[in-house]
Amino acid sequence: MRIFPWLLVILLATAAWAQPDVRLRVTREEYAAIRIAIADSTRGLQPSLENMHGNFLNHFNWALEVTGYLEIVTMNDEDKPQAIIILHASAGAASIAYEIRLVDHPSKATIFKRRYVCATETVRSTAYVAADDVIFALTGRYGIASSQIAFVAGKKPNSHLYVINLDGSGLRRLTSLPGIVMSPAWSPSGTKLAYVSYEKGKPDLYVVDLRTLSTTRFLAFDGLNATPAWSPDGKSLAVTLSKDGNPEIYVISIDGKSMRRVTFYSGIDCSPTWAPNGLEIAFTSDRTGSPQIFITDLDGISVRRITHQGSYNTSPAWSPEGDLIAYVSRIDGRFQICTVDPFGINVNVLTEIGNNEDPAWSPDGMHIAFSSTIGGKTGIYIMKKDGSFKRLIVEGFESARNPSWTRTTGLTASQREGS
């Protein structure tokens, strides 16, 4: 009978991770890209709109391909397209209306049909919305074209905090003076960033609202105020504080009204990351003699170790779907990105070259951003969660690092017409 409550807890936790999603899911076994062809039936657009149409197509194609699990092929039978996007543009006064129909191939069954209207300034975002609808219809999840990455760059200790769209547009610098800044973390809504700054000479925790650009010093206890991680409901931050004499993990409500200590160990506990169900936190601890990844409940009572290989495993990042925890492992003297399931059983090493750190999940849970010296200099790369399809995405900065990834907010359904 004593075992019963624990069984229940395990069952509940498992149930919470396994999302009741009946849509088609791209799993590891069928990770080959879905082949889609695009048939543009647009005819006779006036010359002034041709350029706009070309831009739309470029953005649309990029949004499909950047997912890494869709491949654009020709209509030829030897390319074996599995679905066809039939796209037709018609001119308005200073806008273009797109009719997009996704059909299965070769059955020709319509999967969805929708109209989108864009003007010059909304070509890019409309193309992304349209592409996201296609991606959602094929895979059950939205793509990553409309996402943005917060990161730190600059020669230490003179760094800045930046935000950039995944497509390289919309670069914003959020810090006014160069200094030590680290660990940006997006709120679940993608409207706020928590980060660590030495603006007052020591590591304090700041929160900036991207809509108003107002910054508040959220935590400034003695010692460390570090490694922020938003709870999935956006109401709390898990942080590392050393105010009680040791780096420990605490959960603090955003309204500042409650604080609970989660870890109780005399060594290092840091880098919390939330399970998507908000019931557990993975973190780094050296309680077994070397830094390893552990999972604890919010009371700090039930704690289990999930990394067992090697003597240096840090920086856990729990995937949005809950199935994997990405982390950094020191292998043969270099630092690599790995994933492990929450039970600590299946480990995959995703990088091999250079030093690779700071894993951060994409909002769709299919990709991991990380900082890497693959290309000789430190930059931010993304890859699929199986380690394939590695691409440098933040270029031209001195040691870009500490990525945090979120879906771009503000794209509205008003760009869609009909259903």
Partner 1 sequence: MRLLTVCLVMLALTVTLGCHGKKIRPLEEREQVEVEKQPKVPKAEREAEEKVPPIKPLEPVEQEQIILQSIHFDFDKYNLTDQAIATLTRNAEILLRHPDVRIVIEGHCDERGTDEYNLALGEKRAMAARDFLVRFGIEKSRISIVSYGEERPIDPSHNEEAWARNRRAEFVIR
Q: Which of residues 386-415 bind partner 1 (CB under 8 A)?
A: 401-402
Strand order, beta sheet including 391-394: 356-361, 367-372, 379-384, 391-394
Contact between 91 and partner 1 by CB under 8 A: the answer reads no
- Interacting span for partner 1 (CB under 8 A) from 17-25, 213-221, 295-303, 327-335: 327-335
Instruction: Report the half-sphere exposure of 217 (CA within 13 A, side-chain side).
Output: 11
x-or-dash string of contact with partner 1, 281-300, rule CB under 8 A = ---x-----xx---------
Using rule CB under 8 A, residue 335 touches partner 1:
yes
Confirm if 285 and 268 have CB atoms less than 8 A apart.
yes
Q: Does 245 bind partner 1 (CB under 8 A)?
A: yes
198-233 burial, b at 16+ Cβ within 10 Å, e below that, comes to: ebeeebbbbbbebeeeebeebbeeeebbbbbbbbbe
Query: What are residue 368's phi and psi, to 5 degrees?
Result: -130, 130
Do you find a cis peptide bond into 359, omega within 30 degrees of 0?
no
Rule CB under 8 A: say whether 165 interacts with partner 1: no
Q: What is the DSSP string of 256-317?
A: SS-EEE----SS-EEEEEE-TTSSEEEEEE-TTSS-EEEEEETTS-SEEE---SSS-EEEEE
Q: Of 246, 287, 411, 416, which one interacts with partner 1 (CB under 8 A)? A: 246
Count of residues in contact with partner 1, rule CB under 8 A? 39
Which range in 6-14, 244-252, 293-301, 388-396 contacts partner 1 by CB under 8 A?
244-252
Site for partner 1 in 20-59 (CB under 8 A): none
Of 357, 366, 384, 394, the residue at the interface with partner 1 (CB under 8 A) is 357
Q: Which of 351, 406, 408 is nearest to 384 (CA)?
A: 351
* Shortest distance (Å) from residue 230 CB to partner 1: 16
Beta strands across the sheet bearing 172-173: 172-173, 160-165, 147-153, 401-407
**At how many degrees (to 10) do helices 47-65 and 123-139 cross?**
40
Select from 52, 89, 193, 268 the one that contacts partner 1 (CB under 8 A): 268
The span of 101-109, 130-138, 178-186, 211-219 binding partner 1 (CB under 8 A) equals: 178-186
The residue among 34 and 182 lying less far from partner 1, judged by its C-beta, is 182
Taking CB under 8 A as the criterion, the residue among 358, 374, 403, 405 binding partner 1 is 358
Q: How far is CA 57 from CA 113, 173, 254, in A?
A: 17, 30, 42
The window from 79-87, 92-100, 166-174, 308-316 that contacts partner 1 (CB under 8 A) reads 308-316
Per the CB < 8 A criterion, the answer to whether 125 and 146 are in contact is yes
Residue choice 146, 165, 314, 351 for contact with partner 1 (CB under 8 A): 314
Question: Considering beta carbons, is residue 141 or 401 the nearer one to partner 1?
Answer: 401
Residue number, 14 or 311, with CB nearest to partner 1: 311
What distance in Å separates the CA atoms of residue 88 and residue 287, rounded to the nearest whole number? 61
Interacting residues with partner 1 (CB under 8 A)? 156-157, 180, 182-183, 196, 198, 201-203, 223-224, 226-227, 240, 242, 245-247, 267-271, 284, 290-291, 311-312, 314-315, 328, 330, 335, 355, 357-358, 401-402
